[in-house]
Amino acid sequence: MPMFQEPIDTVLARETVDTLRLLAADAVEQARSGHPGTPMEAAPIAYLLYRRHLRHAPRHPDWPGRDRFILSCGHASALLYSVLHLSGYDLPLDELKNFRQLGSRTPGHPEYGHTPGVETTTGPLGQGFAVGVGMAMGARYLQQQVDAELFDYRVYALCSDGDLMEGVAAEAASLAGHLGLGNLIYFYLDNHITIEGDTGLAFSEETATRFLAYGWHVLRVEGENLAEIDTAILCAQRDPRPSLIIARTHIGQGSPNKQNTAAAHGAPLGTEELRLTKQALGRDPDGFFEISKAVAAHMRVVADRGDELVRRWRQQLESRRGTPSLSTWMQAVEQGLPDDWRGALPRYFPADGPMATREASGQVLNALAPRLPFLLGGSADLAPSNNTALRDQGAFAPGFSGRNIHFGVREHAMGAVLNGLAHTPGLIPYGGTFLIFSDYMRPTLRLAAMMGLAPIYVFTHDSIGLGEDGPTHQPVEQLAALRAIPNLNVLRPADAEETAFVWQSAIENRQRPSALILSRQGLPILDRSRYGAAQETLRGAYVLADAEGALQVLLMASGSEVSLILQAREMLQQQGIGTRVVSMPCWELFEEQAPDYRQSVLPPQCPFRLAVEAASPFGWERYVGDRGAILAMQGYGASAPAQQLMEHFGFTVSEVVKRALLLLQESG
């Protein structure tokens, strides 16, 4: 049965559907910008979901037990805002009138944290589709680990042709079918239109067959037939597979001259066409943002029903509060990390090394897993190389028994799934691949940073030091590209000790994503009795070894190059040149420190600075200044053993010393 069991009042339902259509069209017209066509065609689906099927609570939009709705075709945002307004969310009509305007809560594409009722930021097509898979996986994990009834929620999404054409959706759909995510119910708006014209120009596949091959449950409905859509939703809710409901819709539904044309997609209908549309729908052609009392009353019950759902859910929660797993989850959500978790961080000493930071990372993960039961993740088929497997924790597979996620060779989908998991209260998700393949994940990384989500990315094989795989696998520009993303912490530790602390930083920071950049090759574990404390890693940069005598030159690096500049310092000091070494594992954290601290690490009175990094030099200019220099990669790598490559490209002690001396000679 529908979530709220009453027969469909066809007359009132139709009036509400048309109200949604026209509110969206009016918003676009008022803004003189936007996409009216998709909101107009999808209004019946939105109405049935929000009025009859979604378990949601407009006055409690963050209630953990709610169903999730994702507008994957984010350009149809005017529809989402309209149905949120009618349903009783804190989104006044004036916000619809300010659609796409500066400071409004109704931006051009839905933005998480900006508008109540928006579950995730969408815009780049396919992302919402894939994030929803992660949300469904998160629900399954909470069901299995915490409580099967409290987290028995579904994830619904509205998708367009563009969503299904994007590769990220294909990867995610394949994974969802494999996992049998029966809590996924997606609608595909089969309107035969894209921006350039008929979909036949570029899209002629049999979508239903493709999704059947993925292992999905597929249904077909007419997009204007409320009874068919309602029945299809009920059928999908009962099926153990993820469901795709293909709705044959008509873009710009109701517009006399623009329905079924690309002209309805990405531009306002225009004053005259909007008048004709209202007239065709039996409305006042000169009315604007009109909502009848009958429609308002019809939708007003949604918020009251939501209050009752929340009340009953909280009663269930209280009745089970003593359950250990539920208590642990509630602590994670309400209080954050357990008090004793840092005590599990391993310590490392020179006698333990040399050790690749990817290996140390794996050890840290496994040390923390028993203390952090909601830490889960895996790799894009690279767990043995990324060291991301959690020992004795089982696989997240059909049946959902474990914490090790096998994403398969699906980096695009992995990034989006991590975002969906990060949307799930209490979870700390991570995912690994080689740094070079972070390029596949850039859209999802950017969206995570934009939303303030906190997935942890384990990027290994971080430089030309990975060796024989050659330039196709050796990252050069990736570090600079990641550092260019606002609100993303990029952490490249110099040894195993720093690795433990970059993990601490990533886990403690729940307001932004963290990218851990780790080596394939072994690195010496630094002697902290001689050098700066590894805990200073949490400040982003610190003095690892100070000058003996007056400071004359400053060497700085991240990752594997830190031990290199330490050796160079020894040689420079032997020549009587006071040399400071600064380890800079995370620029972003360093920039957040007080100015006095930053100047104490990089004193302005020492302009002779050399930055060393086996990657693109881009970005280091801010730290070396006008009188400094950068030793970095100027092109791509080559296929050879790691040590030969380092020597070939100039990452040697002698070259660092030579460059430092040259700085001093040029100074006068």
HEC profile of 325-365 = HHHHHHHHHHCCCCCCHHHHCCCCCHHHCCECHHHHHHHHH
SS3 486: coil
Contact 46, 290 (CB under 8 A): no
**Tokens at residue 284, please?**
């006042």
**Element of type H or E holding 196:** none
Question: Alpha-carbon Rg of the chain, whole angstroms?
Answer: 28
Q: How far is CA 92 from CA 98, 114, 146, 196, in A?
A: 10, 14, 37, 35
HEC profile of 37-98 = HHHHHHHHHHHHHHHHHCCCCCCCCCCCCCCEEEECCHHHHHHHHHHHHHHCCCCCHHHHHC
DSSP of 105-131 = S--SS--TTTSTT--S---STTHHHHH
User: In this structure, which amino acid lies at residue 461?
Assistant: H
The sign one gets for the Cα dihedral 256, 262, 266, 271 is negative
**Element of type H or E holding 554:** strand 553-557
DSSP of 396-421 = E-TT---SEEE--S-HHHHHHHHHHH
Contact 128, 70 (CB under 8 A): yes
Pairing of strands 579-583, 542-545: antiparallel
Residues 6+ apart with CB under 8 A from 352: 496, 525
The sign one gets for the Cα dihedral 655, 660, 663, 668 is negative
Q: Which of 29, 411, 561, 613 is catalytic?
A: 411
Secondary structure percentages of the chain, helix, strand, coil, to 5: 45, 15, 40
359 a catalytic residue: no
Contact 127, 413 (CB under 8 A): no
User: How many Å apart are CA 155 and CA 420, to the nearest integer?
Assistant: 11
Residues 6+ apart with CB under 8 A from 43: 17, 18, 20, 21, 24, 79, 253
**Tokens at residue 92, please?**
């006044």
> Nearest Cα to 235, choosing from 227, 223, 243?
243
Give the number of C-alpha atoms closer than 13 A to the C-alpha of residue 475, restricted to the C-beta side: 24
Residues 6+ apart with CB under 8 A from 164: 126, 129, 170, 188, 207
* Residues designated as active site: 411
